[in-house]
Every structure is written in structure tokens, then in C-alpha cells.
Structure 1
Amino acid sequence: MNLKIKKILYFWFVETPDEKKFQKDFKFDQVIKGRFLNDYELASQNKLDDWQDTDRGCLALIILLDQFSRNLFRESGKAFEQDEKSRSVLLKIIANNFLDKMNESERLFALLPLIHSENISDHEKAYELMEKYLKNHSDLEKIKKFWLDHTAVIKRFGRYPHRNKVLNRVSSDDEVEFLNSPNSSW
């Protein structure tokens, strides 16, 4: 296996405590930037597309493009620039039955591009895959709540309003009211 792939997966699934993965932590963001910004840039320029030939490579690409992007470019529209590519890598994972080769923690992160999507059909697909691939996950109830909260926002607004500012989108009055409420962004 490619050394870069090993380093990305080891960092995310072994070195990084689960609670760090979903927290806003600028110090942690800087660690990711120092170790993986160059890899992210290569992946975003399609220079690591050969990684899509293996389950490990696909998973590393999703971690780079879907997870690390949110740490590298927090509070910037750039955090979401590779969401579509992450989704396409996930589709390759599904087509090649690579989810069968992953443990449940890896599957969770492989599936997140569907929940990060602003397309409701992607959310519906995520629930189908959750039933098949995450049914024994130790945090299944937390995952379901997290996903349901995200999907409720997409159903209500057709997008994630907390992204509006950094994506230069105008917020509706309903979105502004929502954004002023607690727990309106992740």
C-alpha cells in the first residue's frame, strides 16, 4: 500500500480520538494542515486519482477531500469545493463493493459525503447504506440523530444555510431565523 495512504488512514483512524473528528478545534486544524495540505492539493488536482483502484486509496481520498477539507479551510467556501469529487469516490467504493472490506468506523466516514451533500436523494441513499453497513456500529443511535438533523435541514431549506455566507449565497428570512437558533451549524 502507498505510504501516503497509510499515513492518512493511520492518522485518522488510529492517532485521532473520535471526539476530535467532529469538533471545531483550530489547533487540530493546524496539525492537519501541516501534515496533509500538500496531499489534499494533489488530490483536488486529480493527481491522486489512481488511488481509486483500491478500497484503502478510495477511503484515504474521502478523508482528504471530505474530512480534511473541512479542517483545512474552516469558515471558507473552499471547505466544500471537493464535496462532489468525494461523492464520486464514494460511488466508486459502492460500485466495487469496497464497503465490504472496511470496518464500521471506516464505513461511516466513507458514507459521509452523502450526508454532506445538499441533494436529498443522497441523504436517502445514505440511510439505505446505513441499514446495511452500519447496523452494528457502537454509536449507531448517535449517527442516526446526527444524520436525521442534517437531513431535516436539507428537507426544510434544500441546502445547508450555515454554508450560505462562505458560499456567497443570500439567506432567506427563514434561514436567518434558523441560523440564529442554537445548533444550527456543524
Structure 2
Amino acid sequence: IEGDIRRFFYLPLQHSEDMADQDRQQALFQTRMERTPDDRWAEHHREVIARFGRFPHRNRALGRETTPEEQAFLDEDGFRG
């Protein structure tokens, strides 16, 4: 499968809030894909889950309370997914 299509197949793992899925997508990106500048997004998604256990930008839509640490992250970083 071509790289761009393969990358598309990995997106559900990248957008999962499960750390095992994040680890899996990182392994797939590192072993089965040529490196591109866009790989930073896969790494960033994993870092967010490692830090918070969830994507803080989803909190309002999912009816979750945002912690002060998450709010500071959102205010500083502007990451929205």
C-alpha cells in the first residue's frame, strides 16, 4: 500500500485516547513509513495522551471537566487536534 494511503489507515490510532493505540501508531510510523515533516503530528498526539491521558480539546464536546493544567495547555499551545 502506498505511503499516503497507509498513513490514512493509521489515523484512527493517532486519534485514539488509548495509550496502547498511541504506542502502536508510533511504532507503525517509525517502522513502516518514510519520515516526513507531518510525522510531528503523530508524535504530538502521543505526547498529549502521555501527559493527560486524553485530548483536552475534546472535553467540552464529551461533557468532561477541563483541569487547570489542561486549560493552561490549551491556552498556551493552541492544539486542537
- With normalisation by structure 2, the TM-score equals 0.89
- Which runs of 5 or more residues in structure 2 are unaligned? none
Matches within 5 A, 1:47-58: none
* Larger RCO (CA within 8 A; separation ≥ 6): 2
For residue 171 of structure 1, give the secondary structure of its aligned residue in structure 2. Answer: coil
> How far, CA to CA, are the matches of 1:103 and 1:141 in structure 2?
14
For residue 61 of structure 2, give the secondary structure of its aligned residue in structure 1. Answer: coil
Q: Counterpart in 1 of 2:3?
A: 104
CA contact (8 A) 2:3 2:33 kept: yes
1:122-153 C-alpha deviation (Å, 9 max, x unpaired): 11111221133212xxxx23232111111111
Q: Counterpart in 2 of 1:179?
A: 74
Q: Counterpart in 2 of 1:149?
A: 44
Question: Which of the numbers 126, 149, 161 marks the counterpart of 2:25?
Answer: 126
Bigger shift: 122-131 or 160-169?
122-131
Stretches of 4+ aligned residues off by more than 4 angstroms? none
Aligned letter for 1:184? F
- Which runs of 5 or more residues in structure 1 are unaligned? 1-101
Kindly report the root-mean-square deviation, in angstroms, between the aligned alpha carbons of the 2 structures: 1.3
Q: Counterpart in 2 of 1:76?
A: none
Q: Name the count of aligned residue pairs.
A: 81
Q: Counterpart in 2 of 1:85?
A: none
Matches within 5 A, 1:18-33: none
- With normalisation by structure 1, the TM-score equals 0.41
Q: Counterpart in 2 of 1:77?
A: none
